[in-house]
Structure 1
Amino acid sequence: MKTKAHFIAPELLNPTNPIEVCLIGAGGTGSQVLTGLARMSHSLIALGHAGFQVSLWDDDVVTEANLGRQLFAASELGLPKASALATRCNRFFGTGWKAVCKPFGKADNQRATIYISCVDSATARFGIADVLKGMGSERRYSDVPRYWMDFGNGRENGQVILSTIGDIEQPTSGKFETVGSLPFVTDEFTEMLLQADIDDLPSCSLAEALEKQDLFVNSTLAQMGCSLLWQLFRNCITTQRGLFLNVAGFRAAPLPV
């Protein structure tokens, strides 16, 4: 029996221009994922690839409770999270990435090839899914929506799941059973998302925030999710489309294609 695998959309392997990436959420996970994308883009460029062009979406501002668990400094208190992170990233890596200090929604018509969501509610995920499904049938010369990677976590556990936006044509393979369509997290794990969608009040301190989310669950999840994306670009193929993580038990379970 052949192993199921997904081959990357061919136009992402050697693009003329940087690949448009839309990162939604600049909190505990999003701030870590942005750094991972910058490192990935820098490395891809060194390998002859065009790299990424990222837009970071978030309408929140930096508060005292964010310091320590999220990648913000005391000097950034009161600043929009997206602006603070994008500015720092651009200065450090020499990128020209942009901050969008408002929620992601249908009215913005933000087109990208890869969408990455690091949001904290099922409502936000279903909203993103609605936008992306509306884009799935559109086909333009550039910036065709191809992938959605969603990060989500609780206090000590989390998951990252890669989905395709529409069906991606696969090559013929004698070794693998190729899969061109990976389901949306909102379609496959609807009940899990709805059960976990508890509306918490904002944390007023770091100590209170740590009662809701462990210090390293976001960064660990971000590193593993970025590694999945990196391997997809480097190897052009993946047999895994995500993972489930538990930092308390030091366990990670891959989600096969």
Structure 2
Amino acid sequence: MNTAKQKIHFTDRDLINPTNPILINVIGAGGTGSKVLTALMEMNHSLTELGHAGLQIRLWDDDVITQANLGRQRFAECEIGLYKSVALINRANRFSGTNWKAETVKFEKDRLDKLPENAGASIYISCVDSVKARFGIADILNILNNGKAYSNRPRYWLDFGNSQHTGQVLLSTIGRIKQPNSEKYETVASLPLVTDEFGELLKQSEEQDDTPSCSLAEALEKQDLFINSSLAQMGCSLLWNLFRYGMTEYRGFFHNLKDFRTHPIKVP
């Protein structure tokens, strides 16, 4: 009897045993992004203890900290008025002794259609609220993927998105990732971009109110207290597995914190 092989995506081999730290662009430093950064600090320390070169993070956000950000996002009252990216990166560097960087601009093309400086990275993690921002990121990644080969050529995009009680995390490859020969597994070289696979659903959700909240109470009406941290932990666990085990059977999940259900998404 013939049985179908299990579908597996093997991590790009250059990320498993790199000479230099892996460059990651984290886009968005709000409710999810601020917690993803904490998880990346833990991941970086664990990787270096295991003999890996670790991570080099560049955090992108042009927003400043307000009173409404306290409580749900990882900011203190003394940081009000500072750029979110600067406050988080300074704290991470002081805590971990790293030399991570902050960008106080949006990760988007300028008026002349020019790519942002320092846009190149191996991994992109997006924690953005708007559909427009996601399509903008996808556009930049496609342009970078068609450029000349270089050490920090884009390989993966990990996208976090959520509403008040629900959310999802999806891993995409940027182009094809060379896979090893395997008799045991059916290897999958390409994972579709979130904007290609769920583009229509994203556009339908575009009507959601994304105006800034004036208070924590108002913010909690849009996103409940622990949805961001719940997604951040589970999503970063997916990234950790790529490094730790060199392969994954799953490329993400749908998560409902209200009824505590999580539905994994297998590699297609």
TM bin, normalised by shorter chain, reads: over 0.9
| 1:12-56 superposed Cα distances (whole Å, 9 cap, x missing partner) | 111110000000000000000011111101100000000000000
* Cα separation, 2, equivalents of 1:231 and 1:146: 16
Out of 166, 174, 185, which is 1:176 matched to?
A: 185
Q: Are residue 46 (structure 1) and residue 49 (structure 2) matched?
A: yes
Secondary structure, aligned partner of 2:93: helix
The answer on whether the counterparts of 2:107 and 2:137 sit within 8 Å (CA) in structure 1 is yes
Q: Alpha-carbon deviation of 1:133? A: 0.5
* Cα separation, 1, equivalents of 2:144 and 2:159: 17
* Cα separation, 2, equivalents of 1:201 and 1:232: 35
Aligned residue for 2:131?
Answer: 122
Q: Are residue 108 (structure 1) and residue 121 (structure 2) matched?
A: no
Secondary structure, aligned partner of 2:138: helix
Q: Which runs of 5+ in 1 are unaligned?
A: none
Q: Are residue 90 (structure 1) and residue 93 (structure 2) matched?
A: yes
Out of 224, 232, 245, which is 2:255 matched to?
A: 245
The answer on whether the counterparts of 1:241 and 1:255 sit within 8 Å (CA) in structure 2 is yes
The answer on whether the counterparts of 2:5 and 2:186 sit within 8 Å (CA) in structure 1 is yes
- Please tell me the residue identity of whatever aligns with 2:122: T
- Please tell me the residue identity of whatever aligns with 2:211: L
Aligned residue for 1:74?
Answer: 77
RMSD: 0.9
Q: Are residue 62 (structure 1) and residue 65 (structure 2) matched?
A: yes
The answer on whether the counterparts of 1:12 and 1:19 sit within 8 Å (CA) in structure 2 is yes
* Cα separation, 1, equivalents of 2:246 and 2:158: 16
- Please tell me the residue identity of whatever aligns with 1:10: R
- Please tell me the residue identity of whatever aligns with 2:102: A
Out of 227, 230, 248, which is 2:240 matched to?
A: 230
Out of 145, 165, 174, which is 1:156 matched to?
A: 165
Task: State the aligned residue count.
Answer: 257
- Please tell me the residue identity of whatever aligns with 1:70: Q
The answer on whether the counterparts of 1:137 and 1:166 sit within 8 Å (CA) in structure 2 is no
Q: Alpha-carbon deviation of 1:105? A: 1.7
Secondary structure, aligned partner of 2:20: coil
Aligned residue for 1:220?
Answer: 230
Secondary structure, aligned partner of 1:72: coil
Secondary structure, aligned partner of 1:108: coil
- Please tell me the residue identity of whatever aligns with 1:211: E
Secondary structure, aligned partner of 1:42: helix
Aligned residue for 2:140?
Answer: 131
| 1:155-202 superposed Cα distances (whole Å, 9 cap, x missing partner) | 000000000011011001111110000000000001221122224321
Q: Using a 3 Å threshold, how does the CA distance of structure 1 residues 179 and 139 change in structure 2: closer, same or farther?
A: farther
* Cα separation, 2, equivalents of 1:52 and 1:200: 31
Q: Alpha-carbon deviation of 1:140? A: 2.6
Normalising to structure 2: TM-score of the pair? 0.94
Q: Which runs of 5+ in 2 are unaligned?
A: 110-114
Out of 131, 134, 154, which is 1:145 matched to?
A: 154
* Cα separation, 2, equivalents of 1:130 and 1:80: 26
Q: Alpha-carbon deviation of 1:92? A: 0.7
Percent of aligned pairs with the same amino acid: 62
User: After the TM superposition, which of the residue ranges 107-116 and 157-166 deviates more from structure 2?
Assistant: 107-116
Q: Alpha-carbon deviation of 1:139? A: 3.9
Normalising to structure 1: TM-score of the pair? 0.98
- Please tell me the residue identity of whatever aligns with 1:65: A
Q: Are residue 24 (structure 1) and residue 27 (structure 2) matched?
A: yes
- Please tell me the residue identity of whatever aligns with 1:86: I
Q: Alpha-carbon deviation of 1:108? A: 1.2
Q: Using a 3 Å threshold, how does the CA distance of structure 1 residues 143 and 200 change in structure 2: closer, same or farther?
A: closer
- Please tell me the residue identity of whatever aligns with 2:42: R
